[in-house]
Amino acid sequence: MGRRKKKKNLKSEVWSKSNGLCAKCGKAVSTDKQTIDHFIPKYHGGTDDFSKYSK
């Protein structure tokens, strides 16, 4: 699976797990406006490990 496909799948999983709400402000997010930010930036040791995400 390519990187783009993995990122799209991850966005969908996070969106689904958060019930379509922004983790920062709590507002509804449409699937075409999805973005993912790391609470700990990757350059500071953050990861894409899905098990770290919580709701």
* Residue 45 pLDDT: 83
Bridge partner residues of 28 (DSSP): 21
Coil/strand/helix, residue 50: helix
CB 37, CB 10: distance < 8 Å: no
Distance CA 11, CA 45 (A): 20
Q: What is the pLDDT along the chain (55 residues), one digit of tens a residue?
A: 687 777 778 788 888 888 888 877 889 988 788 777 766 777 888 776 766 554 4
